Structure 1
C-alpha cells in the first residue's frame, strides 16, 4: 500500500514538470490559428520533412527531419507560423 502511495505522489509531482516542457507559442484563440494544411505547407517550404504533426498545448509541433536530414522536433506559433523552439 505504501509503495502505491509513493508511486502516485511521484507521478503527480512529475506531471506539472512535463506540462512545462513544451513552450508557450501563442495566447490567441484557435479561431485565429492558421489551418493545419496551411501550416504543413509552410513547414514544407522551410525544408522540413514531417513525420508527425500535432497540436501540443498552444503550439503546432512536428517531429521529422530538417533540410540537412537531421532529426528535428520543432514547435511553431500557430498564428504566425514562426519557430518558437527547436530540439532534436
Structure 2
C-alpha cells in the first residue's frame, strides 16, 4: 500500500469512528421562553419523567432557556429532546438530526 493511501485509509477510519461514536444531534436553536430560573422545576423531576418514558439518560443539561436531554429510547435509538423547564412539557425531539416529534402548537 502506498504511503498516501495509508493516510487516506487512516483518515477515513478516524472519521467513521467519530461518526459512529457521536450521534448526529440537532442544533440548539430551540427557544422555550421560560422566564426566570427561580420558576423552573428541578432537573431531577425531568430525569424521572424521561425515565418513565423508557429512556436511558445519557446527559441532561440547560441549553439556552430550555432543558435538553440526550438519551436512548427503549429501542436503542439516540435522541435529543428539549423540554420547557417550568412545565416540563416535551417540546421537540430529534433523532439523527431529523425532527421526529414536535408538541402541537410549539414553534421556536
TM superposition score normalised by structure 2: 0.57
C-alpha contact (below 8 Å) 1:54/1:62 kept by paired residues:
yes
Match of 2:11 in 1: none
**Correspondence for 1:84:** 91
| Pick aligned residue for 1:29 from 36, 55, 59 | 36
How many residues in Structure 1 have an aligned counterpart in Structure 2?
Answer: 69
Q: Is the 8 A contact 1:26 1:79 kept in 2?
A: no
The superposition leaves residues 19-39 of structure 1 with CA deviations (integer Å, 9 ceiling, x where unpaired) of: x84211233211111101111
Alignment partner for residue 65 of structure 2, among 44, 58, 76?
A: 58
2:79 is matched with which residue? 72
Instruction: Please identify runs of 4+ aligned residues in structure 1 that moved more than 2 A.
Output: none
Structure (1 or 2) with the greater helix fraction: 1
Q: Could you list the runs of 5+ residues in structure 1 that have no partner in the other structure?
A: 1-19
2-structure distance, mates of 1:27, 1:60:
10
Question: Residue 78 of structure 1: SS of its match in structure 2?
Answer: coil
Higher Rg: 2
**What residue is the counterpart of 1:43 in the other structure?**
50
Q: Distance in 2 between matches of 1:34 and 1:70?
A: 27
Note if contact 2:28-2:63 (Cα within 8 Å) is conserved in structure 1: no
**Equivalent-residue separation in structure 2 for 1:28 and 1:43 (angstroms):** 22
